[in-house]
Amino acid sequence: MENLWNDTEAGKQQDILAERVYSSRLLGANPNLVLHGGGNTSVKGVSKNIFGENEGTLFVKGSGSDLATIEAKDFVAVRLETMQKLSRLESLSDIDMARELKLASLDPNAPAPSVEAILHALIPYRFVDHTHADAIVAITNTADGGARIREIYGDEVVVLPYVMPGFDLAKLCAEVIPDLVKPRTIGMVLMNHGIFSFGATAKESYERMIALVGRAEDYLNKNAPLVPAAAIEHAANWFELPELRKKVSAAAGFPMLLRSNAGSATLAFARQPNIADISQRGPATPDHVIRTKRLPMFGRDVDAYAQAYKDYFEKNSKQAKQPLTMLDPAPRVIIDAEFGLISAGRTARDTQIVEDIYLHTQDIILRGEMLGGYRALGEAELFSMEYWDLEQAKLKKAGAPKAFAGEVALVTGAASGIGRACVQSFLNRGAAVVGVDVNPAVVSLHGTRADYLGIAANLTSLEAVKGLLEQTIRHYGGLDMLVLNAGIFPGGKKISALADDEWRKVMAINLDSNLAMMREAHPLLKAAPRYGRVVVIGSKNVPAPGPGAAAYSASKAALTQLARVAALEWGADAIRINLVHPNAVFDTGIWTEEVLAQRAAHYGMTIGEYKRNNVLHEEVSSKDVAELTAEMCGVLFSKITGAQIPIDGGNDRVI
């Protein structure tokens, strides 16, 4: 366990809260300690109230923040005395506790304080760190995990049985406070959950955490060493995955994304002789059940998994104190001998988080097996976490998902102009988007966000088309919406001067590549949970061609006919195909300021007049075309196929 503390950097911090931010980020930088919002940190200090009086304050991580990127504003200041008084109550429901924590906040606009705020307030040290370290969980999740922890740490660590985070855990901690202040005590382990360290300074608390977890790692490396998986070649038919995605989405009741990881480690885990047993023993920590559900699905029988989940809910909900609404019964983790690890989620970020969690979980399971047998908490405890009052309340407050949540759009010609604008329009509506372009800049055009995959490809290559569709499947599980935008507009040339190779180049890009995309994408669109949609970016030149654009006009007209035929043929598969015909979209690559000035001068207009030279005198932008394109994939066009819609401000020749 690497110690990342740097005295020079730490010395730059201006106050205790800045020190708390610095050391928290060091913890968050190590995924073997915390993942995606896990873990917790706090510091005790003083604030001035409205009367100018000093008031003891606990600065604790706010709910929903991530230690890897946490800032000072993400720590919630709560009244320390109130936290301590709350701990002396005989009982307090989770909902009431959350309300009281909010009321104790010095800033009513701050995030909700962590549910562990009372616990942090009770620990008699200024700085408190808490992580779900893999090494600790791997040891505690075994039959004799408590004995092993005591063997490693002796009286340097207080060991507590698992209690769900919140008021009950705080009450339990209050009972062991005298043990926490013994001279040799530097930490506390909560079985099946994680580890706490504490100290007078940020450095002391952080370095105790690193040292404690490091000793657990040393123990594992000696007693349960993980051997890197040998290289495994997989021969999965990735084009089977969209059908699995359709079944998962049907079980959920809404579209879901699937993300596959077929690395050697995941394939080796999926092919363990006893995988059907060890994969069904529960998550590494109860916190993970909210993201991953209690159990992964082994194999591809979605209906059986959904029924088992319904039975699990029916059995355990009878013990609840109030009526519960069942969550969707679709799996979030799928273990498959061919696909490896598949994560499911409503958003691309959800699938990434689930994958990250389970990559750590599978190592914890394997190490637990080497220590005599991996064992998670029981079904009742896991159900209590999954259907926790606070989680139920959070779901009720959540707003409606975005229009294309759980769906995948692929846009060709995505590096600039209309294509780039289309990518943004679909992202804004919640879709995961694949942007394809011959320009390599498309790869990094939207940064490293989980819901965007940029692929540089030459669409005139059939192998490239098949390859980019496979990448789409592996990242997101399938395809729902296809925008055919890629094309070229060569310089004006009369037919008498049009060379064969120029003609063929335009046809290859504007027509032939789109035929290949439609043909190869058809099985994916057919398997789309809400049925496939295709939008073809045509041109005003289809209904109103101009001289000097024979190849371009003919290619767009042929593409239009191709789309119309596809609309007729694919209607039986509930795939709808519509076209938009833009004209005079000037914020694209071909319209430089020089070209605009020349064309405007040719017509005796200013550039502004030339841009609005249509019936409505409105300028048409790439964003305008993109917004219409996205809407054509939405519910407003759900009963329309084969339509051609001009977006040109009104062109007298088209009208």
Tell me the pLDDT of the chain averaged across its residues.
93
Q: What is the pLDDT of residue 154?
A: 94
d(CA 451, CA 473): 13
- Choose one of 223, 249, 278: the last residue of a domain: 223
Q: What is the extent of the structural domain holding 334?
A: 238-392
Mean pLDDT (whole number) for 299-326: 91
- Of the candidates 353, 337, 348, 342, which has an alpha carbon nearest to the alpha carbon of residue 241? 342
Q: What is the pLDDT of residue 176?
A: 87
Residue 102 has pLDDT above 90, yes or no: yes
Q: Is residue 198 part of a domain?
A: yes
Q: Please report which confidence band the pLDDT of residue 289 belongs to, taking 50, 70 and 90 as the band edges.
A: confident
Residue 131 has pLDDT above 90, yes or no: yes
Residue 492 has pLDDT above 80, yes or no: no
Q: Decide if 30 contacts 133 (C-beta within 8 A).
A: no
Residue 365 has pLDDT above 90, yes or no: yes
Q: Say if residue 243 is in the same domain as residue 341.
A: yes
d(CA 578, CA 14): 59
Q: Say if residue 626 is in the same domain as residue 513.
A: yes
Mean pLDDT (whole number) for 368-386: 92
Q: What is the 3-state secondary structure (H, E, C) of 579-635?
A: EEEECCECCCCCCCHHHHHHHHHHCCCCHHHHHCCCCCCCCECHHHHHHHHHHCCCH
Q: Is residue 157 part of a domain?
A: yes
Q: What is the pLDDT of residue 319?
A: 82
Residue 206 has pLDDT above 80, yes or no: yes
Residue 406 has pLDDT above 80, yes or no: yes
Apex CA 341: angle with CA 297 and CA 32, to 5°?
Answer: 110
Q: What is the 3-state secondary structure (H, E, C) of 166-187?
A: CHHHHHHHHHCHHHHCCCCCCE
The percentage of residues in the chain with a pLDDT greater than 70, rounded to a whole number, is 100
- The alpha carbons of the chain give a radius of gyration, in whole angstroms, of 29
Own/partner long-range contacts of 321-325 (Cβ < 8 Å, ≥24 apart): 324/387, 324/392, 325/392
| Residue 633 CB-density burial (10 A; 0-12 exposed, 13-18 middle, 19+ buried) | buried
Instruction: Give the residue carrying structure tokens 């401000």.
Output: 649
Residue 51 has pLDDT above 90, yes or no: no
Q: What is the pLDDT of residue 295?
A: 94
H or E segment and range at residue 45: strand 40-48
Residue 476 has pLDDT above 90, yes or no: yes
CATH number for the domain harbouring residue 537: 3.40.50.720
Mean pLDDT (whole number) for 3-21: 95
Number of Cα atoms under 13 Å in the Cβ half of residue 12:
7
pLDDT digits (tens, 9 = 90+) for 597-637: 887 898 899 999 999 999 999 999 999 999 999 999 999 99
- Of the candidates 23, 19, 21, which has an alpha carbon nearest to the alpha carbon of residue 3? 23
Q: Is residue 74 part of a domain?
A: yes
Beta bridge partners of 298: 335
- Of the candidates 463, 408, 464, which has an alpha carbon nearest to the alpha carbon of residue 437? 464
Q: Is residue 124 part of a domain?
A: yes
More confident residue, 220 or 235: 220
Q: Say if residue 170 is in the same domain as residue 60.
A: yes
Q: Say if residue 300 is in the same domain as residue 424.
A: no
Q: Is residue 166 part of a domain?
A: yes
Q: Is residue 516 part of a domain?
A: yes
Q: Is residue 507 part of a domain?
A: yes
Q: Is residue 307 part of a domain?
A: yes
Residue 493 has pLDDT above 90, yes or no: no
Q: What is the pLDDT of residue 363?
A: 96
More confident residue, 493 or 339: 339
Instruction: Give the residue carrying structure tokens 């706490």.
Output: 196
Q: Say if residue 424 is in the same domain as residue 385.
A: no
* Amino acid (one-letter) located at 198: F
Q: How many domains would you assign to the chain?
A: 3
Q: Say if residue 499 is in the same domain as residue 636.
A: yes
Residue 234 has pLDDT above 80, yes or no: no
pLDDT digits (tens, 9 = 90+) for 316-357: 998 887 788 899 999 999 999 999 999 999 999 999 999 999
More confident residue, 141 or 603: 141
Q: Please report which confidence band the pLDDT of residue 188 belongs to, taking 50, 70 and 90 as the band edges.
A: very high
More confident residue, 85 or 493: 85
d(CA 280, CA 296): 7
CATH number for the domain harbouring residue 166: 3.40.225.10
pLDDT digits (tens, 9 = 90+) for 62-72: 988 999 999 99
Residue 194 has pLDDT above 80, yes or no: yes
Q: Say if residue 372 is in the same domain as residue 415.
A: no
- Choose one of 364, 392, 420: the last residue of a domain: 392
Q: Say if residue 382 is in the same domain as residue 439.
A: no
d(CA 40, CA 61): 6
Q: Decide if 409 contacts 431 (C-beta within 8 A).
A: yes
Q: Say if residue 260 is in the same domain as residue 338.
A: yes
Q: What is the pLDDT of residue 52?
A: 86
d(CA 524, CA 613): 41
Residue 175 has pLDDT above 90, yes or no: no
d(CA 312, CA 194): 26
Residue 436 has pLDDT above 80, yes or no: yes
- Of the candidates 381, 346, 378, 343, which has an alpha carbon nearest to the alpha carbon of residue 362? 343
Q: Please report which confidence band the pLDDT of residue 287 belongs to, taking 50, 70 and 90 as the band edges.
A: confident
Poorest-pLDDT segment among 245-249, 383-387, 645-649: 383-387
Q: Please report which confidence band the pLDDT of residue 125 belongs to, taking 50, 70 and 90 as the band edges.
A: very high
Q: Please report which confidence band the pLDDT of residue 388 belongs to, taking 50, 70 and 90 as the band edges.
A: confident
Q: Say if residue 144 is in the same domain as residue 260.
A: no
Angle between helices 462-476 and 241-252 in degrees, nearest 10: 30
Q: What is the 3-state secondary structure (H, E, C) of 334-374?
A: EEECCCEEEEEECCHHHHHHHHHHHHHHHHHHHHHHHCCCE
Q: What is the pLDDT of residue 183?
A: 87
d(CA 346, CA 477): 12
Q: Please report which confidence band the pLDDT of residue 265 belongs to, taking 50, 70 and 90 as the band edges.
A: very high
| Residue 591 CB-density burial (10 A; 0-12 exposed, 13-18 middle, 19+ buried) | middle
Q: Please report which confidence band the pLDDT of residue 519 belongs to, taking 50, 70 and 90 as the band edges.
A: very high
- Of the candidates 156, 166, 167, 148, which has an alpha carbon nearest to the alpha carbon of residue 198? 156
The DSSP 8-state label assigned to residue 75 in this structure reads E
Q: What is the pLDDT of residue 123?
A: 93
Q: The tokens of 26 are what?
A: 């060091």
d(CA 641, CA 229): 50
Poorest-pLDDT segment among 24-33, 210-219, 236-245, 594-603: 594-603
Residue 56 has pLDDT above 80, yes or no: yes
Q: What is the pLDDT of residue 50?
A: 81
The percentage of residues in the chain with a pLDDT greater than 90, rounded to a whole number, is 80
Q: Decide if 236 contacts 294 (C-beta within 8 A).
A: no
Residue 181 has pLDDT above 90, yes or no: no
d(CA 197, CA 181): 12
Residue 399 has pLDDT above 90, yes or no: no
Which strands sit side by side in the sheet containing 40-48, from one edge to the other? 75-79, 54-61, 40-48, 127-131, 194-199, 187-190, 157-160
Q: Give the start-end residues of each E strand in 459-529.
A: 481-484
* Amino acid (one-letter) located at 269: F
Q: Say if residue 346 is in the same domain as residue 207.
A: no
Q: b/e for 263-276, b at 16 or more Cβ within 10 A?
A: bebbbbbbebeebe
- Choose one of 341, 363, 392: the last residue of a domain: 392
d(CA 241, CA 478): 7
Q: Decide if 379 contacts 434 (C-beta within 8 A).
A: no
| Residue 418 CB-density burial (10 A; 0-12 exposed, 13-18 middle, 19+ buried) | buried
Phi, psi for 160 (deg, rounded to 5): -115, 145
Q: Please report which confidence band the pLDDT of residue 269 belongs to, taking 50, 70 and 90 as the band edges.
A: very high
Q: Say if residue 25 is in the same domain as residue 51.
A: yes
- Report pTM: 0.92
